[in-house]
Amino acid sequence: MELSVILEYQDLDRKLMKLENELMGSDAAKEYAQNKHTVSTAQEQVVKQNRDAGEMIKQMNALIQEYESLEKELKEAEDSIPEVSDVNGADFFIRNVQKLLNQLKTLSQEIGKMSQRIVELNQNHAQSMAAGKDAAKKLNQSKAKYEEERAKILPEAQTVKEEISKVEAKCSPKFLEVYKRLRKQKRLPAVVPLMDGRSCGGCFMELAGDAIVKLNGQSFIECPDCGRILYKQ
Q: Where in the chain is the domain with CATH 1.10.287.1490?
A: 23-169
Q: Which CATH architecture has domain 23-169?
A: Orthogonal Bundle (1.10)
Asked if 229 contacts 179 with a C-beta cutoff of 8 angstroms, the reply is yes
The model's pLDDT over 214-228, given as tens digits with 9 standing for 90+, comes to 998 888 999 999 999
The model's pLDDT over 105-160, given as tens digits with 9 standing for 90+, comes to 988 898 888 889 888 888 988 988 998 899 999 999 999 999 999 999 999 999 99
Residue 83: the pLDDT is 55
84 falls in which pLDDT band (50, 70, 90)? low
Residues facing residue 193 across a β-bridge: 231
| 200 exposure class (CB count in 10 Å sphere: 0-12, 13-18, 19+) | buried
The model's pLDDT over 118-132, given as tens digits with 9 standing for 90+, comes to 888 889 889 889 988
The model's pLDDT over 23-75, given as tens digits with 9 standing for 90+, comes to 999 999 999 999 999 999 999 989 998 888 888 888 888 888 988 888 888 88
| Mean pLDDT for the stretch of residues 94-108 | 85
Residue 89: the pLDDT is 59
Give this prediction's pTM: 0.67
% of the chain exceeding 70 in pLDDT = 94
Residue 72: the pLDDT is 87
Residue 95: the pLDDT is 80
